[in-house]
Structure 1
Amino acid sequence: MPALKEIFRKDYQAPDFWVTDVSLKFVLSPNATLVTTELKLSKNTETTSRTLVLNGTEHSQLLSLRINDTAVALDDIQYVEHDIHLKDLQDDELAVTLSNQLDPANNSALEGLYLSNKIFCSDCEPEGFRNITYYPDRPDIMAKYTVIIIADKATCPILLSNGNLVEAKDLDNGLHQAVWHDPFPKPSYLFALVAGDLGYIEDKHIRPDGSPVQLRIYAAHNEVDKCHYALGALKRAMKWDEDRFDLVCDVDQYNIVAIHDFNGGAMENKGLNIFNAKYVLANSEIATDADFETIESIIGHEYFHNWTGNRVTCRDWFQLSLQEGLTVFRDQEFTSDLRHRGLKRIDDVKMLRAYQFPEDAGRLKHPIRPESYVEMRNFYTTTVYEKGAEVVRLYQTLLGEEGFKKGLTHYLNKFDGTAATCDDFLISMAEANHEDLSGFEHWYSQAGTPRVQVAKEITENGIKLTFKQLLCSEGSNLQPQWIPIRFALIGSEDKIIYEDTFILKSWEESITLPCKETNVALSLFRDFSAPVIVDYPYTEEELMKIAFFETDYFARWEAAQRYISELIASEQTWEEKQAKFIAPFNNLLQECRQEPSFYALFFTLPDPISIQSTTAEKDLAKIWEQRGNLIQYAAKTYEAQWLEIYQSQMIGNASARDLKNSVLNYLATLPNHEVTVAKQYEAATNMTDRMAALRASVLNNHSTAKTLLTNFLEKYKAYPSVVDKWFALQVSSPYITLEVLNHLRHHGEFNSHNPNRVRSLLGALGQNKVALYQQPQLFYPWLLDNIMMIDKINPQVAARLATPFSQLDFLKQSDQDAIRNLVKAQLANQLSTNLAEQLSKSL
């Protein structure tokens, strides 16, 4: 196990030298790319020492180094690990020139400059630039870049980098050259380079002043026809940012490139966004309705970073949520405004609870602004992103949309072109709105999901509500957090008679509502007004009243989910559970055509992990069995009605498909409707319907599932993102076996060097807790062995696959002990720092 060096936020120090200008020259070659770097630096007058640190890695071979006009002998260079330390530099203005050589073709970690399907591509966030050249690779150093790219014109006709193309010309020996200049100062992690044989589609966006922005999306020639939806999404994002926040695109050329081998989802490099191809390529044949929405969201996210992340970046990596949480919030609002705000809110909360809440409750929990880290790449987490977005949303809840916009505008104006902190954002919000937000900062520093206990009491003065917050964060100096509580009272006539927002700022506070009605239902945390767990003893009658008569979409859905979860976990007889489960269906089946997408969510039962984490029932196998039995009972009881709804939604839009496929999940549990599922698969004219049928067949263990899977792979094996779905679906089945896992692991379509394919197998297994629960001492060792294999290829991907080993609390203690002993044994081996940190913390 490598020695793990912890880095602390409190130890931040500004650099001794700032970089003002960077000139990079690349002579591209698969195994011997030559990089020449010229840096102009100036002394930071606020520090007294004079040491320049140039970060590097073992993947870069240094060939020469000059300081001003003096060559430095390579043997005289002082290294600390892989970093060059140049000490006692006396000049206040410096010019540093160096050259080094890279091997992009063998860069399987996909960090820095690498070769993917004959395409040169870079990925530099957070610390990949040091794999390209020696440089002070930290986000608070912002410089202007000029980039010269030289490559073989036949194999690399397209040469791209950040900013504006200022020159393109042919050279001798079949080479050609492109020169790009980015006029906006940026940190090194936003550097980008792409070179290869690519096609593109293009369009223009017209800014409010009438000036155009040239838009292009590049992809492999045979995939360019699948980029049109992404291009439209980019134009919608640009228009939305102008309308909602008065933020206008500041570059004249905006390029996106789709790459199949990419560690993350996408990267917001200034003017040259590089995307995982699965989040660009789409048409109805290969993409589901959900895929289209995700693509639109991620296209928007990376564009929105142009202001919240690029023009103003983070001072240090502890502040990552400053830009990621803020930009996730912005992309959520983008989707909400363009689609359906209520349904989007439900989707976001489902995601938060499925991934971030377990992270907050597990051994890898951390604040959205962590106090320390070993490997920065491990902090690209749902806590930093999704919980960070929820904290940003709290500002809007407190200040209103106009107040939030005013604060964001003030923040961007104040820190434009600089590197800021989370505190800077908080202060900007307070200054712009003339509000005292002191106390709000605890959301940034305390880990864990707050729990809010609520008590209701009928008094002679009205209804008294008492709110008490409990924190699960460690530490002796915990402080209460600001928790906005949106709530409503639904009266005896099934209408809202009172609604308000209360801000809980102390450990415990009470309010009395001037309401004389006693038979009221209390609807709490409408629109999920804060990322907390709510403890309130709802009655079944209250939950039913909220589910049917609330006007807030999230509150209705939440009440239905809670009703079903508590019913499954209750000690009632099976007959009582059946009766109470199907009681609402008469009304639901009549109303569902009015809002098909919403009722599709309404009909979808909470997943077993959600039920286990929110109720007293902890036996996951029992939950899964009872959940399935209730679905089948409702399917059989109302079979005729389900079938009539299913047939009525055969022709329609995405909303109709949502409802139809939700109904199919009920019908698929009945043996006589196995043929219905197979017919939908065969007749499908779009990926949404085909995938829904295939999923219903696999997850219900139909006899035809194997035939459909074979057909699906044969039909779509030329489309990588669809093959990923094929792998992930099988591994997500509660019926998965070790035999099937091994078959998929050694399948000809499995590629251990492609992050998407690896995640579709190992990542999907890590999320399949029903299967893991039933055979933990079979599946966890298999998963760990394969993560070890991936660690030798791509440490970043391997570390992210290790999350399940930090979330074992749902298992029996004997199984937990056995798995942790396996982890301890592996930690004795030679692991990457990325994986070693994650596994160490899981213990």
Structure 2
Amino acid sequence: MDIARNPATPDGNPEMADAASEPLHPPVIRREDYAPFPWLLPRVTFDFSLGLEKTRISSRLEVVRNPDAPASPVLDLHGDGLMPLEVKVDGEVINSWVMAGDNLRISLPGEAHLVEVVTEIDPSANSQLMGLYASNGMLCTQCEAEGFRRITFFPDRPDVLSTYTVRMRGDKAQFPVLLANGNCVASGENQDGSHWAEWHDPWPKPSYLFALVAGDLVSRKDRFTTMNGRDVDLAIWVREGDLDRTGHAMESLKKAMKWDEETFGREYDLDLFNVVAVSDFNMGAMENKGLNIFNTKYVLAEADTATDGDYEAIEGVIGHEYFHNWSGNRITCRDWFQLSLKEGFTVLRDQLFSQDMGSEPVKRIEDVRVLRSIQFPEDSGPLAHPIRPDSYREISNFYTATVYNKGAEVIRMMRTMAGEERFRKGTDLYFARHDGEAATCEDFVKAIEDGTGLDLRQFRLWYSQAGTPKIIVRQEQDGDTVRLRLTQKVPTTPGQPDKQPMPVPLRIALFDPATEEHRGEELIVLRDTEQSFDFPGYDEAPIISINRGFSAPVSIERDIAREDLVFLAAKDDDPFARYEAMQDLVVSHLVEALRGELSAEDRTKGRAAILQAFTAVLEDSALDDLMRGELMILPSQTYLAEQLDISDPQAIHREREGLKTWLAQQCEALLEALHDRAAGGPYRRDAAARGLRKMRAQTLIYLAAGAPEKAAKMAAAQYHAADNMTDRQSALIALAGLDVPEREEVLQAFYKRYQGNALAIDKWFAIQAQSLHPRALDHVKALADHPDFTLKNPNRVRSLYMAFAANPQAFHAADGEGYRMIADCILALDPINPQTAARFVPPLGRWRRTEPERAALMRAELERIAAAPQLSRDTFEQVSRSLG
């Protein structure tokens, strides 16, 4: 399953009455308490009589005792807000069943039984969007992690694998399309105007991978021939009117299928592959076997409505969910503590796919930026947890950047240490060894260990220890030998005060200042708390490029001369290292300024060095524009705050914006020339055209800071001349932060043009909520009352409030009004959709790392939320952990 790719933008239940039944203190679930389910369910059959307000489900469960589990005289089936209408055992109606909380408990004295249960639900009342729910006249499901129990009683856990047969019946006019997992084996029509379809999935799967869709949909169809010559029918299902926007998604799917065969040797295993786009969806997409259900954001694209970033995200998410067919479906998780087994591995796979489809260095930089802006703060805050957690209260709260993105980095480190060829041997062994099983993270590591020959005993600590390691680098010269002294510090995190050193693979290169070249890249692995590495043959101290390609998810602390960073920012042949040097140059300067350590002379010298490197980026004719656009981006305010023990958000904002303004003023002519160079020509989607648009967007961001009146005219002209959403949106972003007449005119033009297009209007909300305008907070208040705003659609909620929470200037208003706004949103949203509500808590949870006055205001809002009656499990866990 794909979480929102960037929580700062719109991406990546119990009904309201259900919230009242939540326990005040939900129980803690612990990994060490895992026990296998006492019954096996090899085959299950479900019959759905479909309706938007009433759907009846008849289930037939073949159950046999599990020889690998302690015997139990009862069968416990999970439920959530359900009541059985009828229960049969071996064909006989029984009344001896009991309800144990939400769960159905049935006495089963024998070794094997047929259990039948009838339930009835109201999909139209399901505002949580978990289980079976209605979305604009259609029915669809979302069952990961524990949504299936909202449909019918079942052992809703990932280690219970069954083959599913699903029969659906519904009104043909209302639900002309009936889809489920696997292959359609039969269909027909009834005399009463209804019709039916029967689907069978031959591959055993857990209930969280169940999917059903019924509605009035149209499809784009295609075909893919696998590496062994099997033809697979492909279809992307959308609402009428959206079909023209599905071409890119289909091409992305075919590319992903081919790439997975070539790179990992994985072939698709069903006759059909269906994708359905749904406008009401909590996450990005879901990998249900053979029937992927997607947020429309990650399917629909055309030049007029989708940015270059949207196109890239669609390709990546389509790939991610398809790759789950093996890394998640054919091999699934034993329990939810092993979530990174499927998600971390699949994120790595989608990252490798995306870099092969586009620019490898730019993709790597983008992935690291996400890690640093989301996962690093998670690692240093109250919600820190290992990629394989030890406990939880609500599993939906562990769909985190740590499990996904850091999980991918941990597996990438194994790949770096083994090399691509040996890593492939390890993954081949994993797929062969555990196909058809519910596996653990340990099973994966052991397969990589056996397949590559690596000793990963110490490496396993990456799975059990939270926190971002800091590597302190000291460079010494002893004759003609360079010595690197490395020290590793793994910080204290909640519940883990003492840490052991972990293996850290670091790709390095030593540049000779005279020749401006190095002798080749090397890989060193830091395994101890302190360790030295010697490199002979250097009469003059070299300039060291370290953690090239971001070979380890660590922070680097080193005493490096400013001129050496300028050299690396201009000359390093590793694109990521060049980007990193540019970032370090800016970060070190801003952090010293924020700590009050800069004299007027130091400030002048620091800015001059940054300007030298920045100008080199703007003027380098050999640099492709995609990379130029990346190198122009300043470190985020979130990342800057991570460099400080206690941060003042407004002070960080002032220093960062002050530097941006100064750079823009110094480079105004260069920036304007680059903006003009990027203009003109028909819209294309090749790398060169995308690079021009990316660079053009960055020039406007700088000019809006340094020459706002000129930027306003340039942005308005760009908006009206644009033939694509990327240029139109970048112009609107620049204008939204300026207090100029052109701002309102272009905002209204955008709204009028796209009114009725939900995804485009999401952008309109988000751009205003994230803007640098001094009255952004007031704008968000007004937008919350806009007729197009609703709390019932997760995309729309995220587009306004999550974007606002990622706006440091407005969110951290000195009087705490920004904090109150997010707290009010959480309290209003929690009874409707607790899973989405809980995702708004972490921005307030950063109070311990914020200056005292604001920290008190943030904590007070968390306490107000915690005091609310009938708080959901999702939000309760996040708030209680944030308060600590």
Shorter-chain TM-score tier: over 0.9
Structure 2 CA distance for aligned equivalents of residues 238 and 84 of structure 1: 41
SS at match of 2:241: helix
Distance 1:422 1:768 in 2: 36
Give how far 1:147 is off.
Answer: 0.3
The residue identity in structure 2 corresponding to 1:673 is A
Match of 1:805 in 2: 844
Q: Label 1:509 to 1:53 Cα distance change in 2 as closer, same or farther (>3 A).
A: farther
Counterpart of 1:479 in structure 2 is: 500
Contact 1:114 1:121 in 2 (8 A): yes
Query: Aligned runs of 1:308-707 on 2, under 5 Å?
Result: 308-460=327-479, 462-474=481-493, 475=496, 478-492=499-513, 493-570=515-592, 571-573=598-600, 575-592=604-621, 594-614=623-643, 618-651=647-680, 653-669=689-705, 670=707, 671-707=709-745
The residue identity in structure 2 corresponding to 1:257 is V
Call closer, same or farther: CA 1:586–1:117 in 2, change over 3 Å.
closer
> Is this contact kept in 2: 1:806–1:842, CA < 8 A?
yes
Alignment counterpart, residue 65 of structure 1, candidates 77, 84, 87? 87
Q: Deviations over 1:681-704 (max 9, x none)?
A: 111100000000000111244332
1:701-780 equivalent positions in 2, closer than 5 A: 701-734=739-772, 735-775=774-814, 777-780=816-819
Instruction: After TM superposition, give the deviation of residue 408 of structure 1 in Å.
Output: 0.6
Instruction: State the alpha-carbon separation in 2 of the partners of residues 813 and 370 from structure 1.
Output: 31
For structure 1, which segment, 658-667 or 817-826, has the greater mean C-alpha deviation from structure 2 after superposition?
817-826
Aligned-partner Cα distance in 1 for 2:584–2:497: 34
Q: Distance in 1 between matches of 2:157 and 2:533?
A: 48
Q: Over residues 758-789 of structure 1, what are the superposed CA-to-partner deviations in whole Å (9 max), with x where a residue is unaligned?
A: 11111112222232233351111121011111
**1:287 equivalent among 288, 296, 306:** 306
Q: Deviations over 1:798-837 (max 9, x none)?
A: 0111111211234322332233233223322220111111
Opposite residue 213 of structure 1, the aligned amino acid is V
Are the counterparts in 2 of residues 446 and 473 from structure 1 also a CA contact under 8 Å?
no
Return the letter of the residue paired with 1:50: S
The equivalent residue for 2:879 is: 839
Q: Decide whether the 8 Å contact of 2:129 with 2:282 is kept in 1.
A: yes
Quote how far apart the aligned CAs of 1:586 are: 4.4
Match of 2:172 in 1: 153
Q: Is the 8 A contact 1:799 1:834 kept in 2?
A: yes
2:31 paired with 1:9: yes
SS of the residue aligned with 1:818? helix
Distance 1:61 1:624 in 2: 54
1:196 equivalenced with 2:236 (yes/no): no
* Aligned-residue offset at 1:81: 1.3
* Contact kept in structure 1, 2:591 and 2:643, CA below 8 Å: no
Change (3 A) 1:478 1:167: same
User: Bigger shift: 561-570 or 13-22?
Assistant: 561-570
2:97 maps to 77
- The verdict on how the C-alpha distance between 1:707 and 1:37 changes in structure 2, with shifts beyond 3 A counting, is same
**Contact 1:53–1:135 under 8 Å retained in 2:** no
Structure with greater contact order relative to length (CA < 8 Å, sep ≥ 6):
2
Give, in angstroms, the shift of residue 615 of structure 1. 5.7
Offset of 1:651 from its aligned partner?
3.5
Between 567-576 and 666-675, the greater mean CA deviation after superposition: 567-576
Distance 1:414 1:31 in 2: 45
3-state SS, counterpart of residue 282 of structure 1:
coil
> 580-589 vs 512-521, which deviates more?
580-589
Q: Compute the displacement of 1:617 (Å).
A: 9.0
Change (3 A) 1:296 1:590: same
Q: What is the deviation of 1:623? A: 3.0
Q: Distance in 1 between matches of 2:48 and 2:793?
A: 26
Distance 1:822 1:18, change over 3 A: same
The question of whether the paired residues in 2 share the 8 Å contact of 1:730 and 1:736 is answered with no
Aligned with 1:24 (options 46, 49, 52)? 46
Q: Which amino acid aligns with 1:767?
A: A
Cα shift at 1:736: 4.2
Contact 2:219 2:237 in 1 (8 A): yes
Is the 2:563–2:609 Cα contact (8 Å) retained in structure 1? no
| TM-score (norm. length: structure 1) | 0.97
- Aligned equivalents of 1:841 and 1:194: distance in 2? 37
**Local SS of the residue matching 2:655:** helix
Partners of 1:241 and 1:248 within 8 A in 2: yes
Measured after TM superposition, the shift of residue 11 of structure 1 is 0.2
| Contact 1:16-1:51 at 8 Å conserved across structures | no
Query: What is the alpha-carbon distance in structure 2 between the residues aligned to residue 695 and residue 434 of structure 1?
Result: 51
> Once the 2 structures are TM-superposed, how far is the Cα of residue 53 of structure 1 from its aligned partner?
4.1
Letter in 2 for 1:83: N
Question: What is the DSSP-based 3-state SS (H/G/I as helix, E as strand, rest coil) of the residue aligned with 2:259?
Answer: helix
Other structure's SS at 1:809 match:
helix
Shift of 1:330: 0.1
State the alpha-carbon separation in 2 of the partners of residues 257 and 444 from structure 1. Answer: 34
What is the total number of aligned residue pairs between the two structures? 840
Paired AA for residue 495 in structure 1: E
- Cα deviation, residue 592, structure 1: 4.7
* Equivalent residue, structure 1, for 2:112: 93
- Runs (5+) with no aligned partner, structure 1: none
Query: Which residue identity lines up with residue 529 of structure 1 in the other structure?
Result: S
Is the 8 Å Cα contact of residues 74 and 109 (structure 2) preserved in structure 1?
no
Structure-2 change in CA distance of 1:147 and 1:476 (3 Å): same
Q: What corresponds to 2:162 in structure 1?
A: 143
Take 2:614 and 2:248, find their aligned partners in 1: how far apart are those partners?
A: 38
SS in 2 for 1:440: helix
Q: State the one-letter code of the partner of 2:261.
A: E
Deviations 1:555-592 (A, max 9, x none): 00010011012223331425444433322344333215
SS in 2 for 1:62: coil
One-letter amino acid matched to 1:478: K
1:156-201 CA-to-partner distances (Å, cap 9, x unmatched) read 0000000000111001211000000000000000000000000111
Q: Which consecutive segments of 4 or more residues in structure 1 shift more than 6 A?
A: none
The structure 1 residue matched to 2:123, chosen from 92, 104, 125, is 104
Q: 2:71 aligns with which of 46, 49, 58?
A: 49
Whether the 8 Å contact between 1:51 and 1:85 is mirrored in structure 2 is no
Inter-partner Cα distance in structure 1 for 2:840 and 2:398: 13
Tell me whether 282-291 or 580-589 shows the greater mean CA deviation. Answer: 580-589
Instruction: Look up the SS of the partner of 2:337 in the other structure.
Output: helix
Instruction: Quickly say closer, same or farther: Cα 1:376–1:616, change in 2 above 3 A.
Output: closer
Conserved 8 A contact 1:566-1:615: no
CA distance in 1, matches of 2:854, 2:662: 33
Tell me how far 1:46 sits from its aligned partner: 2.3
Q: CA deviation at 1:79?
A: 2.2
Is residue 148–residue 207 contact of structure 2 (8 Å, CA) maintained in 1? Answer: yes
Distance, in Å, in 1 between the alignment partners of 2:738 and 2:606 is 22
Query: In angstroms, what is the RMSD of aligned CA positions?
Result: 1.6
1:64–1:99 CA contact under 8 A, matched in 2? yes
- Report which stretch shifted further, 535-544 or 584-593: 584-593
Residue 644 of structure 1 aligns to a residue in which SS?
A: helix
